[in-house]
Structure 1
Amino acid sequence: MALAAPGPMMAAESRVLSFSGTLEQQPSPATPATADEPASDLITALTRFFQGIGRMDAVLDVFRAAELVVEYTDDSGGPAVTAITRDGLSWIPVCSTLESFAGWLQYCGRGAETARYGLISGTELLDTCLPEFPAGTGLLLDPGTERALALPPVTGIVAPALAVDRPETDE
């Protein structure tokens, strides 16, 4: 595994994404997103959910506490989390480990490319980052894996102002 040395944090006015490196080769299966392996709780919650013995609210609680891996680009003059658009819907791919991030890149046919990634907490992603995307943007957790989960922008997952299923109000 070859990872570039960790880079600096973003400027103080946007403390959402910490730059972690460049993924040049697929990490070994034992490589966690961070040294503390907070993703193991998230993977356990996802596994329990798909087995029918866990609840979505438990997955979301663990998701908010987890440190997640997202791809970023700085092509537009500053660092930005990347999103994909399919059939008019935007989704942010989010991975629980570097291994699942590398797998996602391979799934997309980009396994030989160098990708830049950052670490962000689930809370920061939902509360600070997601509101900066177009309305209706959802999250894809561990896409391309057996535990992939779509988190659409609906009540209970995102803030009420971002939820696409919020009731219409008369103003």
Structure 2
Amino acid sequence: MKVILNDDVKHVGEMGDVKNVAMGYFRNYLFPRGLAVPCTDEALAYFETKKEEIEARKEQKRKDSASLKEKLEGLEVKLEMPAGSNGKLFGAVTSVTVMNFYAQNGFEIERKKIEIPGSSIKTVGHFTAKVHLYEGSFAEVKISVTGQVSEETKKLEAKKAAAEKKAAEEAPAEEKAE
């Protein structure tokens, strides 16, 4: 069924777009909420009169997206995560971790719009991720992950190294005894 959207609808389109949707989706969701109207000659004429307003709104979204891109690219995501001495993280840096970092810094970005290469970061280092903005534009953001080795981890690794050293010393002694 052809409809004209009254408002922006996630995963469908923006205000003024003519879209094909399922009859049940229109009847049960879009129409009762006032998000869409059937595509008729009268509705098309009405939206034609509002075309300048809709275009101005889209242009404002483009400008906001451009300024957000500059701000995001200027801010490096610095995360300190628990890690072993070999640089491997206990856990991973995911889009949710990056989203939380931005939320703490005053940016509201959806988790689904953050694209991390390999879907997660599992080692210490510097990485680049993409944040999808309006109409296919995106910001390339830098992520810097540093390791935070806890005292418990240091003690466990020291015990493990001592046990390996002791085992290595005992092995040649056993060979001589035979």
Larger RCO: 1 or 2 (CA < 8 Å, sep 6+) = 1
Structure showing the higher helix proportion among its residues: 2
Normalising TM by the smaller chain, what interval? under 0.3
| TM-score, length-scaled by structure 1 | 0.21
| TM-score, length-scaled by structure 2 | 0.20
Larger radius of gyration: 2
